[in-house]
Amino acid sequence: MSREAFVNAAILLALLAVPLWALANDEPFTITLATRAAILALAGVGLNVALGLGGLVSLGHAVFFGIGGYAMGVLASHAQSYDPIMEAPFLIEGTKSMPIIWIAALVTSAIAALGIGALSLRTSGVYFIMITLAFGQMAYYFAIGWPAYGGEDGLSIYVRNGFPGLNTLDPIQFFAIAYTLLLLALLLVWRLSKSPFGLALNAARQSAARVETAGIRPYTLRLTAFVISGALTGLAGALFADLNRFVSPSMLSWQTSGEIMVFIILGGVGRLCAPVAGAGMFVLLEHWLGGTGEFWHIWLGAILLFVVLFARGGLIGALAGRGRTDG
């Protein structure tokens, strides 16, 4: 087992151990914090497909996070009011079933990623960053202005959605769901990174000319990565909304995009488990510093600045030694 694999295992075990400890000590709030970390990590794992593997600095991933959230909000709110989403040409009813909501979140955010990616990937570098940011803002304003689903105020649901055989209102059971999905996503991304697709995508990040000359279009590789990336982040959005039983345009805001990216840099760019380490750190900082004063973002900013300027490897880099990007 390599040192990084060891660190990864330790991080994932820590994320599992915290809520189990909290369960034993009857601290449900800590379980919720761990659930929050797992879900945010999942959003980061999604972004990491585009950012880490593909080198695509997307500042618009809040779009997919938000679409996942609204997929949950729309389906669940229609289900709780027994009012079908549409009746013609065919009947679509709301649902309170998590698996169906997840599929809806995956599909809708994948479609959005296909559209946004197809346009944004015509450009590269700094244009790509600005354009993804702009599309994010476009979705944000759309959500604020669209009155049917709460507009600026967002959308609440009364009861958390259900999963067959589980009681999702029990914090530890909902944590188990989030944690399992996180592990599955990590497994998927790990396999992806070793696959021919991952090899080609990773090579396209380093030399697009080489990949194209080998007969593979970098555009198609990147668009595929962007769609997978958006879909995973969308799934995280659905879970996040379910955790809070609330979805609002703030899930689509550019700050959310920035924060998802922050998870990756705090953990260490180019590392499989970076989003898990980063999201864990983020939630801890938010909890501790948020408790000591209301200006905790100053400290978050200072830590982020320090990591970017002086500790490029992030947390995993510090624990596991040199990796791809600091070599």
Partner 1 sequence: MDSVLQARTLSKSFGALRACDGVDLDLRTGEIHALIGPNGAGKSTLIKLLAGSLTPDTGSVHIDGTDVTREGVAARARRGIARTFQVSALAMEDTVLQNALLGAIGARRSAFRFLRPALRDEQARMTAEAALARVGLSDAARTPVAQLSHGQRRQLEVAVALAQSPRAFVMDEPMAGLGETGSAEMTALLDGLRHEAPILLVEHDMRAVFALADRISVLVAGAVIASGTPTEIRADEAVRRAYLGEEA
Partner 2 sequence: MPTALLVEQLLNGLQAGMTLFLMAAGLTLVFGVMGLINLAHGSLYMVGAFAAAAVAAATGSFLLALAAALAAGAIAGVVVEMVVIRRLYDRDHLDQVLATFALILIFSEGTRWVFGSFPLQLDIPAWLAGPITLPGGIPYPLYRLTIIGIGLAVAIALWLLIERTRTGIRIRAGENDREMISALGVDISRLYTLVFALGAALAGLAGALVGAIQSVQVGMGEPVLILAFVVIVIGGIGSIRGALIGALLVGMTDTMGRILLPSLLATITDASMAASVGASLASMSVYILMAVVLVWRPSGLFGAAT
Least Cβ distance, residue 285 to partner 1 (angstroms):
31
Whether the CB-CB separation of 6 and 325 falls below 8 Å is answered with no
Secondary structure (DSSP) of 236-281:
HHHHHHHHHTEE-GGGGSHHHHHHHHHHHHHH-TT-TTHHHHHHHH
**What's the half-sphere exposure (Cβ side, CA atoms, 13 Å) at 254?**
12
- By a kind-dependent CB cut-off of 5 to 8 A, residue 6 interacts, out of partner 2, partner 1, none, with none
* Segment near partner 1 (CB under 8 A); pick from 13-21, 58-66, 194-202, 313-321: 194-202
- By a kind-dependent CB cut-off of 5 to 8 A, residue 70 interacts, out of partner 2, partner 1, none, with none
The owner of tokens 């959500």 is: 143
145 phi and psi, to 5 degrees? -85, -20
Whether the CB-CB separation of 101 and 236 falls below 8 Å is answered with no
Q: Which of 57, 129, 170, 197 binds partner 1 (CB under 8 A)?
A: 197
- By a kind-dependent CB cut-off of 5 to 8 A, residue 151 interacts, out of partner 1, partner 2, none, with partner 2
- By a kind-dependent CB cut-off of 5 to 8 A, residue 308 interacts, out of partner 2, partner 1, none, with partner 2
* Segment near partner 1 (CB under 8 A); pick from 73-81, 137-145, 196-204, 229-237: 196-204
Q: Which is nearer to partner 1, 122 or 324 (CB)?
A: 324
Q: Which is nearer to partner 1, 196 or 291 (CB)?
A: 196
Q: Which of 58, 120, 137, 202 binds partner 1 (CB under 8 A)?
A: 202
Q: List C-alpha distances in Å: 50 to 113, 152, 177, 235.
A: 11, 29, 24, 15
Give the pair of three-digit tokens for residue 97: 């079933």
Give the N- to C-terminal CA distance of the chain in Å, as an integer. Answer: 20
User: Could you give the CA distance from residue 79 to residue 168 in angstroms, rounded to a whole number?
Assistant: 17
Rg (CA), the chain: 19
Q: Counting contacts by CB under 8 A, is residue 210 touching partner 1? A: yes
Q: Which of 84, 191, 288, 318 binds partner 1 (CB under 8 A)?
A: 191
Give the pair of three-digit tokens for residue 210: 């080489």
User: Could you give the CA distance from residue 110 to residue 230 in angstroms, rounded to a whole number?
Assistant: 6
Least Cβ distance, residue 312 to partner 1 (angstroms):
15
Q: Counting contacts by CB under 8 A, is residue 298 touching partner 2? A: yes
- By a kind-dependent CB cut-off of 5 to 8 A, residue 254 interacts, out of partner 2, partner 1, none, with partner 2
Residues that bind partner 1 (CB under 8 A): 191-192, 194-200, 202-203, 206-207, 209-217, 220-221, 224, 324, 327
Residues that bind partner 2 (CB under 8 A): 51, 57, 59, 119-120, 122-127, 129-131, 133-135, 137-138, 141-142, 144-147, 151, 254, 258, 261-262, 265, 269, 295-298, 300-302, 304-305, 308-309, 312
